[in-house]
Every structure is written in C-alpha cells, then in structure tokens.
Amino acid sequence: MAATGESMTWRRVAVALPYLWLLVFFLLPFAIILKISLADPIIAQPPFTPIFNEQGGLSVTLDNFLFLLTDKLYAITYLKSVLMALAATVLCLLLGFPMAYGIARSAPSVRSLLLLLIVLPFWISFLLRVYAWMGLLNNYGVINNTLMWIGIIDQPIQIMYTDFAVFIGLTYSYLPFMILPLYATLERMDLDLIEAAQDLGASRTQSFWDVTWPLARPGVIAGCLLVFIPAMGEYVIPYLLGGPESLLIGRVLFDEFFVNRDWPLASSVAIVLLLLLVVPIVFMQRNEAKLEEAE
Amino acid sequence: MKQSRLIISILAFGYAFLYIPLVSVIFYSFNDSKLATVWGGFSTRWYGELFRNDQVLDAMFLSLRIAATSATFATILGTMAGLILVRFGRFRGRALFSGMITSPLVMPEVITGLSLLLLFVSLQQLIGWPGQRGFSTITIAHTTFSMAYVAVVVRSRLAAMDESLEEAAMDLGCGPLRVIFDITLPLIVPAMVAGWLLAFTLSLDDLVIASFVSGPGSSTLPMYIFSKVKLGVTPDINALASLIILIVSVGLLLSWAAMRKRSS
C-alpha cells in the first residue's frame, strides 16, 4: 500500500501499539532474566542482589553460570533433555511420516475427516491428554491389567514414573505437530513425478529416496523442529509421568525457582536453555521463510 | 487411490495411539469405584460431584474470563501485527518486529513464564503495579503469546489475498483508514475468528505460564487440575476430562460437518 504523507501518522500509531506491547512484554523480560542471572541469591524480597550496589558500582557475578558448567548434575540434565527430545522427535517422524503420507494419498472424501482427527487433540487440554496416560501406564492401569489378563505377565511391570513413560508422553503429545507440516508438503507433491521415476525403472525404495524424500524435506525439518524445541523445555510430562530420576531441564528450572527459590540460578538455567535452542529456532525461521517463498 | 497395506496398518496404529488414552478416560469416568483403576460398576456420581465442587467452578469461571479477555486483546494486536507485516512494506525495526512476533510460537513455556514473572516483580518494585498477581497478569501473559498465533493466521490469509480490491478503492479516492475498515478487515474476518478461537483455546490450555505469573488465591482450571493429578488418577478429574473431551469433539465435528455441507 502506498504511504501518503497524511497516512503516516496513523501508520505510526498502528505499528507502535503491537510493537510496544512486544517490547515491554516479550523483549524486556529477557533483559531482566539476563540481569538476574548475573546476581547473587540472597534471603530477601526479591531474593537476589541488585545490579548496582550502594556505592553505585556495578555488581555482577558469573557464579551461576560457572556453577552450571561445573556441576555434573546440570550437564547430565541438559544432555538428557537433548537426548530425550531427539528420541521423541525420531519416533514422531517414524510414525508421523507414513501417517501424513497415508492421509495425503487418501480419497478426498475421507481426507478432511482424517485430518480433523489429527487436529482434534490440539483442542483438548494438553494437561488432560498427559493425564490420560497416567491411567493407562499405572501399575494397576489399563495396560498392565490387560497384559495380566491375557497372561503375558503375572505381576505389573513398572512403566509409570520411568523415562520410558516420559518418552511415550512426549511422542504422544507432539505427534500432531509432526504430522501437520509433513501433510502440507506431501499433499502438494505431484504424484506424476513418482510414477515417472518408476516408469523409468526406479524401484519403490529408490523413488522414495530420490523423489519423495527430497520434496518432503522442508516439511520434515519444520515437523522435527516443532517437536524438538518444545519437548526440550517440557515440564508437565516429566512431572506427571517421570520418576524422581527423570529430571528434564524444564522441570529443574521450575523446581529451582519455586522449590529452592534460587531466582538467579533459575534465570541462568533459562539463559543456557535458550542458548541451546537459538540454533534450532533460527534454523526454523529460515526454513519457514523458504517455505513461504516456495508458495 | 490404492494404499499399501503397510500404510493402512500404520494409520490404524497411529489413530489408535492418539485416541485410546482419551477413550479410556471417558470409560473410567463412569466407574463407581473411588479407586480410579478398579472397575466398580457403572455410575454417574462423579459428574454430580463435579458440579457441586465450588473450587472447580471458580477455577473454570476464572479461566473462561481470562481466555475471553486475552483472546480479544490478542486478536486486536495480532491482526494489527499481521497487517503491518504483509501490507506495510519496509519500516525501521521490521526485522526485530517479525522476530518478536514469531519467537513466542516456539519459546519453551518455562522460559516465557519465568521471564514474565520477573518482569512483573520488577515492575512492582519500580512503579507499584501489579499490586497483586492474578487475573490481570495472566491475561497479559496469554495475550502476549497468543497474539503471535493470531498474527500467523491473519498473515497467511492476507498473503493469499488479492490486493486489487484495496488498490481499486484507493484509486477511487478512499483514504487508507477507510480502505482498512471497509475493505481489508471485512475480508479477513474469518481469519480473525479462527485466530480468536485459537487464542481462546491456548489460554484455556495453559498451565505452565499461568503457574508462574499468577498469585496466591487465583488458580485457573489447569492449575486446579494439576494440583489434584500430581497425586495420581482421581475419578472426579476423569469426569471433568471426559466432559471437556466430549464438548470439544462434538463442537469440532459439528463445525466440520457444517463446513463440508457448505462446500459441497
């Protein structure tokens, strides 16, 4: 839209409102996290040292970050969160790709219903969907009861409160995030290309790896990042399904803040988590830009 | 089109994986036994207890108020943001703006929650506001992350839309404000409605961010549910979950059927 001189004023107003909102409620809070991550914890209200001391000098410390780097527990927790998120991403892809493929290739009359059934869980509370698994995985839950009734096992196996339960919970909760972007790219794909490849003598596996997979790659990347990034910081799933030893970083951050009341350490945990996620987030935004251009 | 047997069985497995947990919750909500995993006969008594539980009703009312308010703010701000990104061309700070509007989509909830709480604490020290955390702070937090979703929905609608109508109106002497209100906005109303519904659902769904930014005495419905299920499976939460699952499913299926009828 061409901007005439008269329209400049309201244009500025229109930009300023959402801009200011995001500056105050999105960007400024990160500056505050950074500030507090450089403070010392004290027993006071609020529980951290001010950035300027009484003499007006700057008082910052890197102690929290040094602690995170040297304390083995935190290194293990970060590593475990990355591995867990990766494992869930891989399983989501293994299950999600054939599902997205099947939906994209289904008859148009059932396709919209199949798609609706993928989206539907989104609209049901995330918390309640995780809760539903508690009833299945319990020692006397549906799965154990069924297995015992069939006679495969004669006493319940411990699934609940293990890392395996967290893994299942993550895969379950984030599967739709994988399927939707995959479906979007697969649905646009020209089927003639595969047929042409096969007519020219390519086997089914060959035509999959040489034709389908490269064309679906933007969707694969989007789906993987949409699963990996939120799974890294997950709090509810490790809390409800995991045991005391399934410490993922999101839960550690929460507990550091609310249970130990160590605000500076919780802030530095958040900063390090953010640094770990900056690469995938930037990558994701690039990928989105590419997808938009392709349209 | 013919599907391979492998694909069909994976599809069946995938849908079973997605829906068995939900069906099992609904099944056990009619269980008379207080022990949630032992079948004690059919009963609807947990539904009755749910409606006599004031805590649940208060939390639900608070959640609905927050969801409606934040969805409305998010729709206004998110629509403006979408318009700015698609129709305003280049302006100073555009890159920062587009980064800020898309980042909340992927930001882990614990970070968003922590950062906003620290902001509110700092503001309270500096200017004395917010005196009490609760409705207002949760509403602000929810508006901030859901306006990003509204902006995405509105942006993709605008990007797919032909600009010629707006250009024609301008050529005929319409001022830019009138073009927005008479032409652009009416055309993107469906996207705004979809954005509002999405924002409303996201707000109702949120546990982590609300737990950070709320204060004593105000708990939303997810916060109430979480405080109960921390201790394990309980029959009244089964009933509550079943009600939510049923309401959402029926609503979505009905709107899907209505859309299908209109398009055919």
The per-residue pLDDT for range B174-212, each reduced to its tens digit, is 887 888 888 889 989 999 999 999 999 999 999 999 999
Q: Tell me the CATH number at A146.
A: 1.10.3720.10
Quote ipTM for the complex: 0.88
A76 within some domain = yes
Find the residue in A nearest to B142 (Cα). A25
For residue A48, list its beta bridge partners: A41
Is residue A222, in this structure, part of any structural domain at all?
A: yes
Q: Distance from B73 to chain A by nearest Cα, in Å?
A: 10
Residues of A within 8 A of B244 (CB-CB) are 124-125, 128
User: Is A214 within a domain?
Assistant: yes
**Residue owning tokens 């059932």:** A110
User: Would you call B3 and A3 a contact, using CB atoms and an 8 Å cutoff?
Assistant: no
Assess if residue A70 is contained within a domain: yes
- Domain segments of chain B as ranges: 55-247
Residue B179 with chain A: CB contacts under 8 Å: 1
Q: Please report the pLDDT score of residue A294 as a whole number.
A: 62
DSSP B1-69: ----HHHHHHHHHHHHHHHHHHHHHHHHHTB-SSSTTS---B--HHHHHHHH-HHHHHHHHHHHHHHHH
Kindly report the backbone phi and psi dihedral angles of residue A42, in degrees, each rounded to the nearest multiple of 5, phi listed first: -135, 165
Nearest partner of A204 among B15, B7, B11, B10, judged by Cα? B7
Condensed to tens digits (0 to 9), the pLDDT of residues A205-227 reads: 888 888 888 888 889 998 999 99
Residues of B in contact with A1 (CB under 8 A): 87-89, 163, 166, 170, 176, 179
Number of domains in chain A: 1
Q: Given 3-state DSSP classes, what are the helix, strand and coil percentages for chain A, each rounded to the nearest 5?
A: 75, 0, 25
pLDDT band, very low/low/confident/very high, at B37 (cuts 50, 70, 90): low
* Nearest chain B CA: its distance from A146 CA (Å): 12
Find tokens 């391979």 and name the residue. Answer: B4
pLDDT at A1: 46
Considering only alpha carbons, which residue of chain B is nearest residue A270?
Answer: B111
Nearest chain A CA: its distance from B242 CA (Å): 9
> Residues A167, A84: contact at Cβ < 8 Å?
yes
| B:95-114 residues touching chain A, CB 8 A cutoff | 97, 99-104, 106, 108-111, 114
Decide if A40 is inside a domain. Answer: no
Q: Count other C-beta atoms under 10 Å from residue B88's C-beta.
A: 15
* Contacts for A253 with CB less than 8 Å, ≥ 6 apart: A233, A235, A266, A269, A270, A273, B110, B111, B114
Q: Is the dihedral of CA A38, A42, A45, A47 positive or negative?
A: positive
Question: Quick check: A46 pLDDT over 90?
Answer: no
Average pLDDT for residues A175-180, to the nearest whole number? Answer: 94
- Whether the Cβ atoms of residue B147 and residue B74 lie closer than 8 Å to each other: yes
> Computed from CA positions of residues A161, A162, A163, A164, in that sequence, does the dihedral angle turn out positive or negative?
negative
Residue B38 has pLDDT above 80, yes or no: no
Which pLDDT tens digit goes with each residue over A87-145?
999 999 999 999 999 999 898 889 999 999 999 988 888 999 999 999 889 888 888 88
**Residue A2 resides in a domain:** no
Considering the domain boundaries, does residue A190 fall inside one?
yes
The answer to whether B8 faces chain A, any CB pair under 8 Å, is: yes
Tens digits of per-residue pLDDT, A223-274?
999 999 999 989 999 999 998 777 889 989 998 898 888 999 999 999 999 9
The pTM is what?
0.89
Q: Write out the E strands in A77-191.
A: none
Checking if the pLDDT of A4 tops 70, the result is no
User: Residue A87: which domain range?
Assistant: 64-294
Write the Ramachandran bin of A52: left for phi over 0, alpha for psi from -120 to 50, otherwise beta. beta
Compute and round to an integer the Cα radius of gyration of chain A.
24
Q: Residue B232 gets which letter from DSSP?
A: -
More confident residue, B106 or B48: B48
- Candidate from B37, B207, B245 with C-beta closest to A236: B207
Residues listed for chain B: 264
- Between chain A and chain B, the number of residue pairs with CB atoms below 8 A apart is 247
Q: Note whether residue A27 is domain-resident.
A: no
Task: Classify B55-247 by CATH class.
Answer: mainly alpha
- The answer to whether the beta carbons of residues A164 and A143 sit under 8 Å apart is no
Instruction: Look at A98 and B10 and tell me if their CB atoms are within 8 Å.
Output: yes
